[in-house]
A and B are shown apart, each in its own frame.
Chain A
Amino acid sequence: MPQHILEDRELSIATGSDLTSEGKTIKCGQNSVSGSVSQRACVYCGARVVLNPITDAFHLVHGPIGCASYTWDIRGSLSSDSELFRQSFSTDLKEKDVIFGGVVKLKQAVDEIMARFNPPVVFIYSTCLVGVIGDDVDSVCRESERRYGARFINVKAPGFAGHKALGYKLACEALFELIKPFRDNPKVKGINILGDYNLAGEIWIIKNYFKEVGLKVLSVFTGDSSYESLIKAPTASLNVVQCAGSMTYLAKMMEESFNIPYVKASFFGLEDTASALMKTVDLLGDSKARQKAKSLVEREGRKTHEAVEKYLPLLKGKKAAIFVGGGFKAVSLVRQFKALGLETVLVGTQTGSAEDYELLGELAGPSAVILDDANPAELETFMRQKGADILVGGVKERPLAYKLGVAFCDHNHERKAPLAGFAGVENFAREITLSINSPVWALARASSFLD
């Protein structure tokens, strides 16, 4: 191990060959080491990012102001209708509430919400403080449902209960509770898409594909969704799970309770998008849809190949590093880089599983570094060691990459161009080409007056 790696962290770092031929597994899903400058967020954050894109829901953060401030309109999810979810709502608890309990204020906040906004569903996020002072939020929810007829769902997400992935699970439970009452509605031919958050309008692209092949998308969890669209979910005949890390749990619950099978699919990259579409129509056994999907995939595949061709010479032989939230997205990215002629030299995630890491090790090759819950020092060490030309990550990684003279592409909440579907393949190729070939790099290298 190189210097600057905590002993406790060594088990969470491996090379591709460690994972494939040496039989090593990566220690993951653990709490971050105390004192580590982790890039990872908390339970509340996990729950919030999954539920936040529900456009007409009222997202009430029960706790001191911070947790509401930091999550105000940061998700990059687009809406075709209500913008209620882009406001920030909180009970802004004060010292007095900590001493006497926050329930009185919460109840009053509920009354104020219903007096003015009257939303169909209110998610009440119970943050760290509420977990410690023990407010009975469940009974506030039950009482409010009786009183107002709207749904009130307690998302018990104190940050100390675990890390971000537990928050995903809690969000899944909240969603399940929301749609459960509609379990007996008759089944229709149509699908749900789970784990797309409509960043930069990506779900609209994917929905268009399904429209073309003649498949109805009943609900999306949770990009550009509304209460009315979500409650249709129990009637679907198939769940297509895009962000597996956040939504597999919900898919499993729906399989068990509503008898809806699910398939994991990724709409990132040419290969994965094509196979996602074909897998879906195959599972539904619709030969007409299959025919249409086949011609769509051929047509868009051709178009995409033509579109990215001009970027290939500019990308050839470059080395890529990946640090993203979930394992499934990382897998798609490794494939996508390969298709564009880049070698992936480092890949890490915040919440990947041991199986994800094994697959990543296989795909990225024997010398690639694979790591769970990395910190900036580790990212720096391995990006340098491996000579990465570009890093794909989120907001905290961007300035780190730039400081190191490494190009960057945001594949998280701050992406402004859709990176999903066939259109996303070209956008992705363009974004990484622009960043790698920015004229500023030449100036940065020439900055020393001593030369």
Chain B
Amino acid sequence: MLNQTPLQFYDRRALRINPCKTCQPVGALYAALGVHRCMPHSHGSQGCVSYHRTFLTRHFKEPAIAASSSFTEGASVFGGGANLKTSVKNIFDIYDPDIIAVHTTCLSETIGDDLNSYILDMTLSEGKLVVHCNTPSYVGSHITGFANMVAGFIRYLSLKSEEKSQKIGIFPGWINPGDIHELKRLVAVMGLESIILPDQSDVLDSPMTGTYSMYPEGGTTIDGIRALGSVKKVLALGPSCSFEPALAIKSKCAVETDLIEAPIGVVNTDNFICALSNLSGQGVPSELEAERGRLIDLMLDASQYFFNKKVAIYGDPDTVVGLCSLALELGLRPKYILTGTPGEAFVERINKNLDIYGAKEGVKVKASGDLFELHQWIKNERVDVLIGTSYGKQIAKAEDIPLVRLGFPILDRYGHSYQPIIGYRGAMRVAELIASALMDRIDRDCADEDLDVVM
């Protein structure tokens, strides 16, 4: 029924079908929710923010707040300066955040609103802040918007300092609250103190207490963002999300940065732990050695079910690069690797990894792709398992292929955002999910006489 996708490829240059990305502003909004007592604000029509909040709520099953300039026809002609001014006043009066993080939209970008000068012109009460970033929806993707907002916080707030603190900075990239909790645990186990920007843990996974708080416990504090300028080093995880922020902290505060892949998969996590170990000057505690060992044990135990199974992975670039790396480590055969976010660097990052495993032959890798195209690839040569967002559901159903839901967004399952995919524990979870998907399929499809309790 949901199978509208034809087998034959045809020339398609203008029509985007079933996207694997969305627009910048929602990324900026998600980043801003990771700052403590921050109200994200969308400078554009009121519909944008309604969609973004709905989208985030559907993924996290949590309230996601943000205000809007609510552009009218007049604002679109004469500029949105007055709307922004009114907004800022109203927001501080009624919702009382400590900081408002403004992002633009396709509308305000196109009419040429100059947010810098609007914000400079504002008189704010003591201790209240307004920052902004530019997020034109017709450039990049939600990932670009996320990176721009993080960089925006840094440009406005981080303070350069000659004296370096003992702390390290971490730009985690776009990951779930569950991942950030795991990140914090790893850093603590390694004996380090960190400032993580942004930090949506305890914001978009806040516990049920019987009260609703617009500003839950979590989030990077404003002081934390200021102090990022004096950390001894920043680990920027995932180039797509964290290159811009790394550039910002380097140029504004001359802080040293290390840009590495997100710690998804064994080798990427090893690299992250090594980086932490270099910073702490201490070895890796046995606790983590054991954790890694258990992961490898699991990978070996289940290896027969992974070996040479073909897999399609799609979603956001940093997540997909990490998952592709883990897939290779598990013995799976990545067949199609796709992101909707533009940028050919993605293809190079994937290819580099495929080369290491000598697994490049017959693999299609694409940035700026869409899920219609992925579906066409699969129709021409199928895979054994799909790994990605909920939007692969239609392909999974049409082609009867198991889908392992990882990445953003996941709109049709519960609990996923609490569980990490990063680190050794995260890799164990991903390995278990993939193995279970493949093995459930064997159980479902095998003849009665082949059904085995022991596998």
**Across the interface, do B45 and A91 meet the contact criterion of CB distance under 8 Å?**
no
B424 to chain A, nearest CB (A): 31
**Across the interface, do A32 and B16 meet the contact criterion of CB distance under 8 Å?**
no
B63 to chain A, nearest CB (A): 5
**Across the interface, do A66 and B94 meet the contact criterion of CB distance under 8 Å?**
no
B64 to chain A, nearest CB (A): 8
Contact of A89 among B15, B70, B138 (CB under 8 A): B15
Complex Cα–Cα for A71 and B105 (A): 17
Q: Is B90 in contact with chain A by the CB < 8 A criterion?
A: yes
Q: Is A439 in contact with chain B by the CB < 8 A criterion?
A: no
Q: Is B185 in contact with chain A by the CB < 8 A criterion?
A: no
**Across the interface, do B86 and A160 meet the contact criterion of CB distance under 8 Å?**
no
| Segment among A111-119, A295-303, A363-371 that sits at the interface with chain B | A111-119
The residue among A60, A86, A95, A128 with the most chain B CB atoms within 10 A of its own CB is A128
| Segment among A16-24, A129-137, A268-276 that sits at the interface with chain B | A129-137
Known contacts A66-B26, A403-B211: A92-B76 contact under CB 8 Å = no
Known contacts A105-B14, A376-B214: A65-B19 contact under CB 8 Å = yes
Of all chain A residues, the one with the shortest Cβ separation from B40 is A37
B91 to chain A, nearest CB (A): 5
**Across the interface, do B214 and A377 meet the contact criterion of CB distance under 8 Å?**
yes
Contact with B along A71-90 (1 / 0, CB 8 A): 11100000000011011111
**Across the interface, do A87 and B91 meet the contact criterion of CB distance under 8 Å?**
no
Of all chain B residues, the one with the shortest Cβ separation from A167 is B47
**Across the interface, do A45 and B15 meet the contact criterion of CB distance under 8 Å?**
no
| Segment among B54-62, B244-252, B321-329, B353-361 that sits at the interface with chain A | B54-62
Contact with B along A398-416 (1 / 0, CB 8 A): 1110111100000000000
Known contacts A35-B86, A159-B107, A395-B54: A128-B45 contact under CB 8 Å = yes
CB-CB under 8 A from A113, the residues of chain B are: 15
Known contacts A36-B67, A37-B66: A159-B46 contact under CB 8 Å = yes
**Across the interface, do A6 and B93 meet the contact criterion of CB distance under 8 Å?**
yes
**Across the interface, do B53 and A396 meet the contact criterion of CB distance under 8 Å?**
yes
Q: Is B87 in contact with chain A by the CB < 8 A criterion?
A: yes
Contact with B along A245-276 (1 / 0, CB 8 A): 00000000000000000000000000000000
Q: Which residues of B contact A (CB under 8 A)?
A: 1-4, 6, 10-19, 21-23, 25-26, 41, 44-55, 57-58, 61-63, 65-73, 75-76, 83-84, 86-91, 93-95, 105-107, 110-111, 136-139, 141, 206, 208-212, 214, 340, 372, 391, 394
Complex Cα–Cα for A132 and B83 (A): 17
**Across the interface, do B54 and A35 meet the contact criterion of CB distance under 8 Å?**
no
A167 to chain B, nearest CB (A): 9
CB-CB under 8 A from B139, the residues of chain A are: 94-95
Complex Cα–Cα for A159 and B210 (A): 36
Q: Is A158 in contact with chain B by the CB < 8 A criterion?
A: yes
Complex Cα–Cα for A132 and B14 (A): 20
The residue among B46, B94, B211 with the most chain A CB atoms within 10 A of its own CB is B46
Q: Is A109 in contact with chain B by the CB < 8 A criterion?
A: yes
CB-CB under 8 A from B84, the residues of chain A are: 34
Complex Cα–Cα for A404 and B21 (A): 33
Of all chain B residues, the one with the shortest Cβ separation from A97 is B138
Complex Cα–Cα for A399 and B89 (A): 27
The 23 listed contacts between A and B (C-beta, < 8 Å) are: A35-B90, A45-B50, A64-B138, A66-B22, A69-B21, A70-B52, A73-B394, A89-B15, A93-B138, A105-B14, A111-B14, A129-B107, A158-B107, A159-B48, A160-B45, A376-B63, A400-B63, A403-B210, A403-B211, A444-B208, A445-B210, A447-B208, A447-B209
The residue among A69, A83, A86, A380 with the most chain B CB atoms within 10 A of its own CB is A69
Contact of A399 among B63, B75, B76 (CB under 8 A): B63
Contact with B along A163-175 (1 / 0, CB 8 A): 1100000000000
B66 to chain A, nearest CB (A): 7
CB-CB under 8 A from A377, the residues of chain B are: 94-95, 214
**Across the interface, do A70 and B89 meet the contact criterion of CB distance under 8 Å?**
no
The residue among B47, B65, B214, B394 with the most chain A CB atoms within 10 A of its own CB is B47
Complex Cα–Cα for A111 and B13 (A): 10
A-B contact count (CB 8 A): 245
**Across the interface, do A65 and B23 meet the contact criterion of CB distance under 8 Å?**
yes
CB-CB under 8 A from B41, the residues of chain A are: 35
**Across the interface, do A72 and B14 meet the contact criterion of CB distance under 8 Å?**
no
**15 additional contacts (CB under 8 A) given A89-B17, A98-B138:** A5-B94, A31-B70, A32-B70, A34-B70, A38-B49, A45-B47, A66-B48, A83-B4, A86-B2, A91-B14, A91-B16, A92-B19, A106-B14, A132-B110, A395-B58
**Across the interface, do B26 and A160 meet the contact criterion of CB distance under 8 Å?**
no
Q: Which residues of A contact B (CB under 8 A)?
A: 4-6, 8, 31-45, 60, 63-73, 83-84, 86-95, 97-98, 105-106, 108-109, 111-113, 115-117, 127-129, 131-133, 158-164, 376-377, 380, 395-396, 398-400, 402-405, 444-445, 447
Complex Cα–Cα for A72 and B21 (A): 12
**Across the interface, do B19 and A72 meet the contact criterion of CB distance under 8 Å?**
yes
**Across the interface, do A87 and B18 meet the contact criterion of CB distance under 8 Å?**
yes
Complex Cα–Cα for A326 and B4 (A): 34
Complex Cα–Cα for A22 and B83 (A): 34
B153 to chain A, nearest CB (A): 20
**Across the interface, do A65 and B93 meet the contact criterion of CB distance under 8 Å?**
no
**Across the interface, do B137 and A65 meet the contact criterion of CB distance under 8 Å?**
yes
**Across the interface, do B18 and A92 meet the contact criterion of CB distance under 8 Å?**
no
A436 to chain B, nearest CB (A): 16
CB-CB under 8 A from B61, the residues of chain A are: 398-399
B17 to chain A, nearest CB (A): 6
Known contacts A83-B2, A395-B58: A45-B391 contact under CB 8 Å = no
Of all chain B residues, the one with the shortest Cβ separation from A115 is B10
A403 to chain B, nearest CB (A): 4
**Across the interface, do B50 and A42 meet the contact criterion of CB distance under 8 Å?**
yes
CB-CB under 8 A from B17, the residues of chain A are: 87-89
Of all chain A residues, the one with the shortest Cβ separation from B92 is A35
CB-CB under 8 A from B391, the residues of chain A are: 72
B20 to chain A, nearest CB (A): 9
CB-CB under 8 A from B58, the residues of chain A are: 395
CB-CB under 8 A from B45, the residues of chain A are: 42-43, 128, 158-160
Contact of A68 among B19, B111, B214, B394 (CB under 8 A): B19
**Across the interface, do B54 and A396 meet the contact criterion of CB distance under 8 Å?**
yes
**Across the interface, do B44 and A128 meet the contact criterion of CB distance under 8 Å?**
yes
A66 to chain B, nearest CB (A): 3
CB-CB under 8 A from A127, the residues of chain B are: 106
**Across the interface, do B71 and A36 meet the contact criterion of CB distance under 8 Å?**
no
**Across the interface, do B47 and A43 meet the contact criterion of CB distance under 8 Å?**
yes
CB-CB under 8 A from B107, the residues of chain A are: 128-129, 132, 158-160
CB-CB under 8 A from A396, the residues of chain B are: 50, 53-54, 57, 63
A415 to chain B, nearest CB (A): 14
**Across the interface, do A40 and B46 meet the contact criterion of CB distance under 8 Å?**
yes
Contact of A38 among B16, B46, B62 (CB under 8 A): B46
**Across the interface, do B90 and A36 meet the contact criterion of CB distance under 8 Å?**
yes
**Across the interface, do B12 and A66 meet the contact criterion of CB distance under 8 Å?**
no
Complex Cα–Cα for A398 and B53 (A): 12
Complex Cα–Cα for A6 and B70 (A): 15
**Across the interface, do A129 and B110 meet the contact criterion of CB distance under 8 Å?**
yes
**Across the interface, do B72 and A86 meet the contact criterion of CB distance under 8 Å?**
no
**Across the interface, do A4 and B94 meet the contact criterion of CB distance under 8 Å?**
yes
Known contacts A89-B15, A90-B19, A160-B72: A116-B138 contact under CB 8 Å = no
**Across the interface, do A116 and B83 meet the contact criterion of CB distance under 8 Å?**
no
CB-CB under 8 A from A162, the residues of chain B are: 72-73
